[in-house]
Structure 1
Amino acid sequence: MWQIVGLFVIGLLAGFVARLFVHSPARLGCLGTALLGIVGSYAGGSLYAVLAYDHFDLRKASTFIGAVIGSVVVLLAWRAIAGARHR
């Protein structure tokens, strides 16, 4: 149970820091920011595994810095997709 709470808190903090760097296309709220951080954590861990030629494992989450970097990448991709829809 504590692992889920910890994942939520770290995801919330990582998503918040990422949203400071990149303006998101929509208001996310607390739950959306936490989900962004959790997805960013797994994206950052997967990106590190690909770049460092490490064993690729989708279940691998990264560190807090990796979570922030992954969240920034997810937000940039989301902003690009949302911008392409409006054109």
Structure 2
Amino acid sequence: MPPRSVHVRLAYGADALEITVSDDGRGPAGPTGRTPDAVPGHGLAGIRERAAAHGGTARTGPGPDGLGFRLAVRLPFAHSRTEVGS
């Protein structure tokens, strides 16, 4: 069953940005790693690689209460120090 609704949440703190996307669809792929109507590609693997390249993480799995699908990405802020000269 395709999702009927999607929830996107952006949250940030002093050290990171967190992005969570969850839906009420069929949920994670089965043991083969693919759903029957999946389009081949590198979407989730690409998201994980891009997050890791910036020191972050990306997790996928069942949505809230075990229903649907959830993607959670955490990207740390790059801290830079700027000094003001006299």
Q: TM-score, normalising length from structure 1?
A: 0.29
**Which has a greater percent of helix?**
1
Q: TM-score, normalising length from structure 2?
A: 0.29
